[in-house]
Amino acid sequence: MKAAVLHAPNQPLTIEDVAINKPGPREVLLRTAFAGLCHSDLHFIEGLYPIPTPVVLGHESSAVVEAVGDGVTYVKPGDHVITCLSVFCGTCPQCLTGHPNLCENTEVKMLPGVARRMTWKGEQLNQAFNLSSFAEQMLVHENATVKIDPDIPLDRAALVGCGVMTGVGAVFNAAKVEPGSTVAVIGCGGVGLSAVNGAALAGAERIIAIDTVASKLELARELGATDTLNVSNADPVKAVREMTGGGVNYSFEALGTKATAEQAFQMLRGGGTATIIGMVPYGVKIELHGFDFLRDRKIQGTSMGGNRFRVDMPRLLSLWRQGRLKLDHLISGKLKLDQINDGFAALKSGAPVRQLIDFAA
């Protein structure tokens, strides 16, 4: 099969002929349909997070089941699925207490460098996120998939596999936004726009979308933002505090920088909660004033929106069918696999919302 391989940080991905194993016990072989280009992948390409190389990145995808291994009961060949990096075992303490996204079973949620599912030139090729979506096929644990109805477009479905689930899940599961509240979302890429849409679904009275790209702010209004703030030459904290008379109840940081993470906390009113969705570079510290915690302000992280993906993703697709969750607006364009470096260059510019690799193209 063809796959995009990262050989070292800050190097272009190369398209290689890669061998993939047959499914073992509880494993599923998938034919990849679509894979999204996410900023999280870009962090690994740029060396902001360590990962064993050579490696096939990619984690936001939809696919069709080609074959299953012994003991697989959840899917069968021909099923349409969304993949999710929140692979779970179902039996560890995290899974049994309602947090399958934090599964601790390293035989199922294998640590980086452990999986032995692909080879390149006879040597091990590392799997990323227990998925590796930037390849024509994926070999995954059956608990890394969720079945979907075959009439759901696979390009829309792929978006739910990471960006939409993370953004909406941060609102619903992590922050638990209350109706009538005020919300600020920093960063209007695929994740941030999904947080905007999620806040609208949650009944927030005022939703302030913050970015430096005018076209993204326009899109944010279509997804439910009541206000937009272009901070190309403005202080977002000062502006939000002035707009709201003291700050917001909930803020969401969807860029992954030290500055924006600190700003998310600073724009809270008393009792507010800041949720950091973006991947702040590995080793970078967030600095906050201790005094600001005295009025019950809180800051928290979230892993994939605290999802229970086999329940949450079908629900999100149901909301899309009802016209309440916006997915069509998020697709900026579709690329062939051999255009992946151009796609990441565009993503780095900040212009696209979500580009998809179309494996049928």
Q: Catalytic positions, please?
A: 38, 40, 43, 59, 162
Question: Are the C-beta atoms of 246 and 262 separated by less than 8 Å?
Answer: no
Determine the Cα–Cα distance for residues 51 and 237; give it in Å rounded to an integer. Answer: 34
Instruction: Give the neighbor-by-neighbor strand order of the sheet with 123-127.
Output: 19-20, 118-120, 123-127, 55-56
CA separation, residue 307 to residues 34, 86, 166 (Å):
21, 8, 8
The DSSP bridge partners found for residue 299 are 274
Using omega within 30 degrees of 0 as the cis cutoff, is the peptide bond preceding 54 cis? Answer: yes
As a 3-state breakdown, the chain gives helix, strand, coil percent values, each rounded to 5, of 30, 25, 40
355 by DSSP, 3-state: which? strand
- DSSP 8-class letter at 6: B
Query: From the CB of residue 30, how many other CB atoms can be counted at a distance below 10 Å?
Result: 27
Q: Classify residue 286 by its DSSP letter.
A: P
Amino acid at 214: A
Q: What phi-psi label fits residue 235: left (phi over 0), alpha (psi between -120 and 50 degrees) or beta?
A: beta
| CB under 8 A, 24+ apart: contacts of 283-290 | 284/258, 285/258, 286/258, 286/261, 286/262, 287/258, 287/262, 288/262
Give the three-class secondary structure for 41: helix
In the chain, the amino acid numbered 28 is V
